[in-house]
Amino acid sequence: MAKTGNLTRADIAESIHRKIGLSRADSSGLVEGILRHVCESLSKGDNVKISGFGTFILRDKAQRIGRNPKTGIEVPIAPRRVLTFRASQIMRDRIVEAG
């Protein structure tokens, strides 16, 4: 698996290949298809919930006034959409057990 501390698409595809027995190409295609579907749903404005893993939530943030920490000058921060992730309780429990 990942030696750098990061889990990559290739790592996931390789794991599917070893555990399920799909070809490497089919495993890679499966991973890409799932990620594409998640991205398309988020780009449409839908939240994505993966049971037992967590929820990707889109939030609209209103315009607000920020401050440049170096100069102290107030600067307007434009409204924007942000993506957040909330881990499921099952995922949180697994992370605590592993730590």
Distance CA 80, CA 60 (A): 6
Residue 83 to residue 8: CA distance in whole angstroms: 20
Domain ranges of the chain: 1-43, 47-99
Q: pTM of the predicted model, to two decimals? A: 0.76
The CA-atom distances, in angstroms, between 96 and each of 89, 90, 91, 93 are 11, 10, 9, 5
Could you give phi then psi for residue 25, rounded to 5 degrees? -65, -45
pLDDT at 1 over 80: no
pLDDT per residue as tens digits for the range 4-42: 689 999 999 999 999 999 999 999 999 999 999 999 999
Q: What topology does CATH give the domain 47-99?
A: HU Protein; Chain A (4.10.520)
- pLDDT digit string, tens, across residues 43-92: 999 999 999 999 999 999 999 999 999 999 999 999 999 999 999 999 99
